[in-house]
Amino acid sequence: MSIASFAPLAVVLPILGAALTFLLIRHSHAQRAVSIALLSLTLLLECWLLASVWGGGTEAVNIGGWLPPWGIVLVVDQFSSLMLVVSSAVSLAVLVYATGQGMADGDRDAPVSIFHPTYLILVAGVSNAFLSGDLFNLYVGFEILLTASYVLMTLGGTGPRIRAGVTYVVVSVVSSVLFLIAIAMIYGATGTINMADLAIKLAELDQGTKTLLHVMLLVAFGIKAAVFPLSFWLPDSYPTAPAPVTAVFAGLLTKVGVYAMVRTETLLFPGDSLNSALMVAALLTMVVGILGALAQSDIKRLLSFTLVSHIGYMVFGLALSSVAGLGAAVFYVAHHITIQTSLFLVTGLIERRGGSSSVDRLAGLAKLSPLLGLLFFVPAMNLAGIPPFSGFLGKLGLMQAGIGLGTPLAYALVIGGVVTSLLTLLAVARVWNRAFWRKPEDAEHPDPVLLAEAKDSATGHRAGKTNVTLLPRTMVGSTLGLVVLGVALTVFAGPLFELANQSAATMLDRSAYIESVLGENAPVPGLAMGGGK
């Protein structure tokens, strides 16, 4: 019995937590304790899984004793366990932040008690999608996390949230229908939906059918990952949700789409038949996304556009389909989940302290709360890719891989990547200059809270409520934890990059994955490079 047999617990524990917190819906303290305890337990378990496959190795678990390719399998390898650990660490930090916010505001409304069960179901869906070795189980994982995200997106049911929620739900349902159609067609063509089995059987199809199935999957995942022509929905819907919800969506949901794209490209359809198309999409995603960010004055919307833009970097690494490129993309995904989430959490704090998330109304925060300045500055510079942060290391890896490939399109991507990085710096520096450095008197229409005497920066007055804690310790603490995690990714970048490169090599080789699922004697097809037969 290997350690990987405990992998299903990564899905089961959060669902158990959801059931328990739903029962405890009238007891908010017990609810908080249960959800934080179960999520910490899940994180510990996933760290254990990651440690067991750190040096290499892929393990598969057959659910319910059904043998593959008939039963459902969960596969633990370096990439999936790394994603599990990073996503659970981030979700735990956001959960602590959200409970801190709930306690500070004294919210005892019904919708907020729904938050804990829904949030844990979201985490279960994300874990299921990362672990799944079966295409339909991946679809179910997506649906679990999407349905939970619909509820979280429209939490409270205010006008703007409902308006944004409608767009989000319709776009997500359409992408899910596309994914389901693709699954049906793949099953019709090959007679299996086990991903390891598909890796063997899809190679036997003729090129036209293969390209059709490949494009359908990429479009479905591209909508979820917000790759350029399909990214229009994201900046519209994310910013209106509550701050912790936006943070966890920005960190995790798009990355699940990227994860599915990586599996599609490496396991199901290896070779480079669509790589040029992906490279063009990556370039446009980076540049169009960041140009959108420059036009925004609301920090949350600005960050949503940078999120779209930086998805381009991951697709860039994936499209190179070399060990160096894919390894850098894996590292970049881990880095970006942490950094983007911490930036959204800090924006939530900025909104509490400064009364607004619009840079037209904010001013002088660096003086009011130097800690807030530090919390924003470090991840912002990390996002822009200033050395020595992990954002710089990830981008450097991508550039090296792009130059290593040496085609004109790869050079265009390298140049686009550098330009995007500089424009990201410009976008976050504008936020910094306006929200943190200028004097409140210079703002166009500053929030009254900023002009008031700054005697005690931790308390202040809000309409209708006296002495609401503006920066509760739990919220600042969890944000600080994530920022420190981001810095730790820089400090331990050496071993992490090695892990990412190893996982990239294993994924491109495919034999470890297929043999762990189907047994030692499975016929592993060779790589069909160049799209030839």
Partner 1 sequence: MSVNLTLLTVMGALYACGIYLILERSLTRVLLGLMLLANATNLLILATGGYAGLAPFFSKDTDPHAYNDPLPQALILTSIVISFAVTAFMLGIIYRTWVLARQDEIQDDVEDRRVAATPSFDAEDDAVIPVETSEFPLTMLGSDGTGVTDSPATVRAGGKTILAEDAALEEKPGSANVVPGPEGGVK
| 170 binds partner 1, rule: CB under 8 A | yes
Beta bridge partners of 400: none
Work out which of 103, 140, 212, 527 binds partner 1, going by CB under 8 A: 140
Please tell me whether residue 403 binds partner 1 under the rule CB under 8 A. no
For residues 312 and 418, what is the distance between their CA atoms, to the nearest angstrom? 12
The Cα-based distances of 323 to 327, 397, 399, 511 in angstroms read 6, 11, 13, 15
**143 interacts with partner 1 by CB under 8 A:** yes
Q: Is residue 464 part of the contact set for partner 1 (CB under 8 A)?
A: no
CB of 143 to partner 1, least distance (A): 5
Q: Which residue lies nearer to partner 1 by CB, 54 or 136?
A: 136
Residue 160 touching partner 1 (CB under 8 A): yes
Q: Does 272 contact partner 1 by CB under 8 A?
A: no
Q: Are strands 465-469 and 59-62 parallel, antiparallel or unpaired?
A: unpaired
| Among positions 181, 374, 396, 422, the unique one binding partner 1 when judged by CB under 8 A | 181
67 is an interface residue for partner 1 by CB under 8 A = no
Choices 19-27, 73-81, 159-167, 199-207; region in contact with partner 1 by CB under 8 A? 159-167
Closest CA to 418 of 390, 399, 393, 397: 399
Among 11, 73, 183, 319, binds partner 1 (CB under 8 A): 183
Nearest to 431 by CA among 307, 337, 296, 246: 296
| Cis bond before residue 388 (omega within 30° of 0) | yes
Q: Toward partner 1, which CB reaches closer, 36 or 185?
A: 185
Q: Which stretch binds partner 1 (CB under 8 A): 142-150, 196-204, 251-259, 282-290?
A: 142-150
- Compute, in degrees rounded to 10, the torsion defined by CA atoms 422, 287, 379, 172: 180
Q: What is the x/- site pattern for partner 1, positions 279-318, by CB under 8 A?
A: ----------------xxxx--x-----------------
Could you tell me whether strands 459-462 and 73-76 are parallel, antiparallel, or unpaired per DSSP bridges? unpaired
Whole-number minimum distance, CB 331 to partner 1, in Å?
A: 34
What is the C-alpha separation between 512 and 522, in angstroms, rounded? Answer: 10
Question: Counting contacts by CB under 8 A, is residue 428 touching partner 1?
Answer: no
- Output the CA torsion 139→142→144→146 (10° steps): -140
User: Given candidates 76, 89, 131, 151, which one binds partner 1 under the rule CB under 8 A?
Assistant: 151
Task: Give the separation between CA 526 and CA 520, rounded to whole angstroms.
Answer: 16
Cα 101 to its chain centre, rounded Å, is 22
Cβ contacts of 171 within 8 Å, gap of 6 or more: 223, 233, 237
Q: With respect to partner 1, which residue has the nearer C-beta, 159 or 408? A: 159
# binding residues, partner 1 (CB under 8 A): 48
Tell me how far apart the alpha carbons of residues 364 and 214 are, in angstroms, rounded to a whole number: 51
Q: Which of residues 330-359 bind partner 1 (CB under 8 A)?
A: 356, 358
Does 37 bind partner 1 (CB under 8 A)? Our answer is no
| Min CB(256)–partner 1 separation in Å | 17
Q: Work out whether 498 is an interface residue with partner 1 (CB under 8 A).
A: no
Select from 68, 117, 165, 486 the one that contacts partner 1 (CB under 8 A). Answer: 165
Which residue, 264, 294, 285, 301, is CA-closest to 132?
Answer: 264
Q: Does 187 bind partner 1 (CB under 8 A)?
A: yes
Pick from 150, 284, 469, 528 the residue near partner 1 by CB under 8 A. 150
Interatomic CA distance for residues 260 and 48, integer angstroms:
23
- Tell me, what amino acid is at 169? V
Interface residue with partner 1, options 62, 147, 209, 469 (CB under 8 A): 147
Helices 299-320 & 275-294 angle (0-180, nearest 10):
160
- Minimum Å gap between C-beta 450 and partner 1 is 13
3-state secondary structure of 1: coil
Q: Quick one: 363 or 393, whose CB is closer to partner 1?
A: 363
169 binds partner 1 (CB under 8 A): yes
**Closer to partner 1 at the Cβ: 77 or 134?**
134
Nearer CB in complex with partner 1: 233/316:
233
Does 442 bind partner 1 (CB under 8 A)? Our answer is yes
Closest CA to 68 of 516, 525, 527: 516
Contact 120, 15 (CB under 8 A): yes
361 touches partner 1 by CB under 8 A = yes
- Looking at the DSSP bridge assignments, the partners of residue 459 are 469
| Strand 73-76 versus strand 59-62 pairing type | antiparallel
C-alpha of 102 from chain center: 24
Is residue 88 a contact residue for partner 1 (CB under 8 A)?
no
Interface residues toward partner 1, by CB under 8 A: 136, 140, 143, 147, 150-151, 154, 157-160, 162-167, 169-170, 173-174, 176-177, 180-181, 183-185, 187-188, 193, 236, 239, 295-298, 301, 356, 358, 360-361, 438-439, 442, 444-445, 447
